[in-house]
Chain A
Amino acid sequence: MKRNIRSNAIWLAIMIAGFVIMDGLEAAGLINTFIENAIVTVGINIILATGLNLIIGFAGQFSLGHAGFMAIGAYATGIITQQIASPLGFWLSMGIGIIIAIIAAIIIGVPTLRLRGDYLAIATMGASEIIRVIINNLKITNGPAGMFNIPQYATWPVVYVMVCITTIMIANFVHSRAGRAVMSVREDDIAAEAMGINTTKWKLAAFVFGAATAAIGGTLHASYIQTIAPGDFGIMNSISILIIVVLGGSGSLTGTILAAGVLGIIDTVLQNFGTLRMVIYALALILLMVFKPGGLLGRWELSFKKVNKKKGAPAE
């Protein structure tokens, strides 16, 4: 009990310190719109990628449909905050986005999570594309043109707080009976079942949880950027979230946060390179993978618990 309180206190201190530093820099005028934009994007990517890491890295279910759930959150916010233009409307839209994403995740997950590996990946990718095509053809979503002038309630402090909350929730999930059950499915589902773990239930739990956080990411994205279109939520967007997960080390939340940050920095620096930007980005990605096949951190996690200090598991 005591060690937990101590470690939780350290985490809380880090979160508050991060906020204070950010606030100070903002007040001192050191952060311009461009940098703020980059930082908020990193934050949203952390939310999206930790959720996907839960599904891929911890539960071992290869989902390629994250952008679809993100789209649900984004459109829920786009539609609702244009009707109810108030912070209340914003939070309400986030809640509704989460609920719809959960329902969609159950509808998609129950049949498809029986599939294995790449078959699951391709099925979830297909499901996500179906969501996008539906959005593309609905009136309420304004079709292919997308939605503009979405009121901005997701300021950086809102995003910051949501990053902290979702990360804590996912970390708490992972470091619990639930987390162990989910990981046992990844390690060996047949043995897990024989040990009394309902593998279907836990696969779905991780999938639904991940989808819910994707919806939160979508809400924040829509409200911060203020413009959304179906094209923002395609296969390539699911893949860029996947890249963050694998680059950080699938199965390491710390790695995901680090990778989101690293990619954010690379992206910001490369802005000056014009058309060469994506070429360099692609080369960097290939080189990172070739030289760090297990991701930046493998399965290592930052921990402040003295007793429970885990050695980094060797990369797969």
Chain B
Amino acid sequence: MSLLNVEHVTQQFGGLTAVDDVSMQIEKGELIALIGPNGAGKTTLFNMLTGVNTPTSGKITMETAKGTVDIAGKRTDQVAALGMSRTFQNIRLFSEMTVLDNIKIAMTHKSHENFIETMLRLPSFYKTEDAIDSKSRALLKDFNLDPYVRSTAGSLPYGLQRRVEIVRALATKPQLLFLDEPAAGMNPEETADLSAVIQRIRNEYGVTIILIEHDMSLVMKLAQRIYVLDHGSMIAEGTPAEISQNAEVVSAYLGGEVVAEGK
């Protein structure tokens, strides 16, 4: 069984069909890109997969330690607890809190919260707190964010905020990580850093990654497989080489010179 199985999902908003009968299979350990012109329904699809929206029809299942779980209809936080995490197109950090607290919040759902323990400050409370603290710091250090541990997240430069957001998503210990346009608004140097970060997450942390991206050079460099969405429908699926030769994809991108330069 694939890690994530998407079968014929459709999402309608009133009369508008944003995502139309889309299917995809994501295997464990893959790095997948989801591309398509603006308004193709990529983020809508992400929102369905992560439980923000419930699909109008279709089935989404995920393989977890506890067997196959149906995602559709679950709350976002339940989906996150199953091992799916994400970043957002417009960065959504807890901007008035410290970078460290941002990471700690992502670890909250893994630790049991006991009211009595918290109120009475029992030793077990400190034990869990200290464990979260050191794990968060270690994770930040691993991505060279340790100098910013105490900084207010919203005060960081854009590129760093992106990185904090990705690390925060990683802190939930996901099996599957969705990145929504992580390179948007980045300069080439920042994009290069980002691509290193993404590869490390996949290789060292063993997380399966799906990313939406417009930066084709990044997509061609990172992705093993690419799904192409246009007007809500999946028009193509294949390796970067196959996709860059695909006539339908090229026409969807009007000329397709962007795709061609990839390889």
Interface residues of A (CB under 8 A from B): 1, 4, 8, 169, 172-173, 176-178, 180-181, 183-184, 187-188, 190-199, 299, 311, 313-314, 316
Contact between A195 and B80 (Cβ–Cβ < 8 Å)? yes
Top 9 A-B residue pairs of the complex, sorted by shortest distance between their CB atoms: A196-B109, A187-B94, A196-B80, A191-B92, A193-B76, A195-B106, A184-B105, A176-B118, A198-B77
The chain A residue with its CB closest to the CB of B80 is A196
Alpha-carbon distance A299/B168, docked complex (angstroms): 24
Per the 8 Å Cβ criterion, residues 109-132 of B in contact with A are: 109-111, 113, 115, 118-119, 121, 123, 125-126, 128-130, 132
**Residue numbers in A under 8 Å from B121 (CB-CB):** 4, 8, 172
The chain A residue with its CB closest to the CB of B95 is A187
A274–chain B nearest beta-carbon distance, Å: 43
**Residue numbers in B under 8 Å from A4 (CB-CB):** 121, 126
Name the segment of B11-19, B57-65, B96-104, B230-238 touching the other chain: B96-104
Q: Name the residue in A178, A183, A187, A311 with the highest tally of chain B Cβ atoms < 10 Å from its Cβ.
A: A187
Alpha-carbon distance A49/B168, docked complex (angstroms): 33
Contact between B119 and A197 (Cβ–Cβ < 8 Å)? no
Q: Which of A178, A198, A199, A313 contacts B118 (CB 8 A)?
A: A178
Alpha-carbon distance A197/B150, docked complex (angstroms): 22
B74–chain A nearest beta-carbon distance, Å: 11
**Residue numbers in A under 8 Å from B110 (CB-CB):** 196
Number of interface residues of B (CB under 8 A): 42
Give the number of A-B contacts (CB < 8 Å).
109
Alpha-carbon distance A188/B80, docked complex (angstroms): 16
With A176-B125, A190-B52 already in contact, the answer to whether A181 and B105 are too (CB < 8 A) is: yes
A208–chain B nearest beta-carbon distance, Å: 11
With A196-B106, A198-B75 already in contact, the answer to whether A1 and B126 are too (CB < 8 A) is: yes
Contact between A193 and B75 (Cβ–Cβ < 8 Å)? yes
Q: Name the residue in B88, B105, B121 with the highest tally of chain A Cβ atoms < 10 Å from its Cβ.
A: B105
Contact between A184 and B75 (Cβ–Cβ < 8 Å)? no
Per the 8 Å Cβ criterion, residues 125-159 of B in contact with A are: 125-126, 128-130, 132, 150, 152
Q: Would you give the 0/1 interface string for B212-236, flagging 1 where the beta carbon is closer than 8 Å to chain A?
A: 0000000000000000000000000
A-B contact pairs, 19 of them (CB 8 A): A1-B123, A176-B113, A177-B111, A177-B118, A178-B118, A181-B105, A183-B97, A187-B95, A188-B94, A193-B52, A193-B75, A194-B80, A195-B77, A196-B106, A196-B110, A197-B77, A197-B105, A313-B96, A314-B152
**Residue numbers in B under 8 Å from A316 (CB-CB):** 96
**Residue numbers in A under 8 Å from B81 (CB-CB):** 196
**Residue numbers in A under 8 Å from B118 (CB-CB):** 172-173, 176-178
